[in-house]
Amino acid sequence: MNKQQSTFVVKYLTGNGRVGIIRPILHLKGAQYTNEIVTLEDVAANRADYPFGHIPMLIETKPDGTKFELGESIAIEQYLSEKFDLLSSTPEENAIQKSIALNIYFEIYNHCFAGKIPIQEAVADPNSEFLSKALPQFLACHERWLNKNGNNGHYFGDKLTYPDLVLLHWCRMMQGLGVKLDENSPVKKLENTLKEMEEWKGMYDTFHPFGSVDA
């Protein structure tokens, strides 16, 4: 890493959870970063040390020695995506890419973690609202976006962008919870395309949403 580039610290639990996109961005882009593992007890005892009293938290040390601290996982993801060229340089396309990522969160997160019934029960019942309505609508929408780009395993162009990583994260999350995805779906094509990226350097499984890392 060039000494003139920033270094980063990601403060979070060992699990990937809410940093399941933050850590991969830093890893894939070859950033110099460390994981500072904290416990929920640590955070509860020192809430004033965090921007909003909770984790995750990103600490960037810039080449001139100044520090930049940022909280909230989606804000961190978007900041790093801009910094590491995972978003477009035009305001319009930049906004569209962020909107795709946010739609994935809004449409899937609530069903997986904030639904009226546990996601495991919803996945086991083919007549559940999630399997019969929400998931098919979600997949159809994002398949249209992917097909619009030629079904080449990316949302935009032929290179990795921020929404690619968000969809990958949630595909892996849903499948880990028991959701079956069509192997011929453009969504699955994106997952398989990103899985083959050499930049993982053999650590693809380390960054699974249900995986964990060492400090």
DSSP assignment string, 24-60: HHHHHTT-EEEEEE--HHHHHHTGGGSTTSSS-EEEE
Q: How confident is the model at residue 130 (pLDDT cuts 50, 70, 90)?
A: confident
Measured CA to CA, the distance from residue 131 to residue 137 in angstroms comes to: 10
Q: What is the pLDDT of residues 79-93, one digit of tens each?
A: 999 999 999 989 999
Domain boundary (59, 84, 109) is at: 84
Q: Are strands 32-37 and 7-12 parallel, antiparallel or unpaired?
A: parallel
* Total number of domains constituting the chain: 2
Supply the pLDDT for residue 1.
41
The answer to whether residue 212 is domain-embedded is no
Mutual angle of helices 91-104 and 135-148, in 10-degree steps? 150
Measured CA to CA, the distance from residue 15 to residue 32 in angstroms comes to: 20
Q: Is there a single domain that holds both residue 100 and residue 64?
A: no
Q: Is there a single domain that holds both residue 189 and residue 130?
A: yes
In contact, 188 and 180? CB cutoff 8 Å:
no
Structure tokens at 201: 């350097």
For the beta sheet containing 7-12, the strands, ordered from the edge strand earlier in sequence to the opposite edge, are: 32-37, 7-12, 57-61, 67-71
Structure tokens at 94: 């930049």
Q: How confident is the model at residue 122 (pLDDT cuts 50, 70, 90)?
A: confident
Domain boundary (84, 113, 129) is at: 84
Q: What SS3 class is residue 148? A: helix
Supply the pLDDT for residue 116.
65
Does this model's pTM top 0.75?
yes
Measured CA to CA, the distance from residue 65 to residue 53 in angstroms comes to: 25
Average pLDDT score over the chain: 93
The answer to whether residue 2 is domain-embedded is no
Domain boundary (56, 84, 112) is at: 84
Q: Is there a single domain that holds both residue 191 and residue 104?
A: yes
Which residue segment(s) compose the domain that 102 sits in?
A: 91-199
Measured CA to CA, the distance from residue 95 to residue 101 in angstroms comes to: 10
Q: Is there a single domain that holds both residue 126 and residue 161?
A: yes
Please report, for residues 149, 167, 176, 212, 215, the alpha-carbon distance to residue 189 in angstroms, rounded to integers and kept in the order given.
12, 11, 17, 25, 32
Indicate whether 42 pLDDT > 70: yes
Q: Is there a single domain that holds both residue 131 and residue 63?
A: no
In contact, 121 and 127? CB cutoff 8 Å:
no
CATH number at residue 66: 3.40.30.10
Q: Which residues of 67-93 are buried (b: 16+ CB within 10 A; e: fewer)?
A: eeebbbbeebbbbbbeebebbbeeeee
In contact, 9 and 36? CB cutoff 8 Å:
yes
Q: What is the pLDDT of residues 92-102, one digit of tens each?
A: 999 999 999 99
Q: Is there a single domain that holds both residue 102 and residue 178?
A: yes
Report residue 70 CA to chain centroid gap. 16
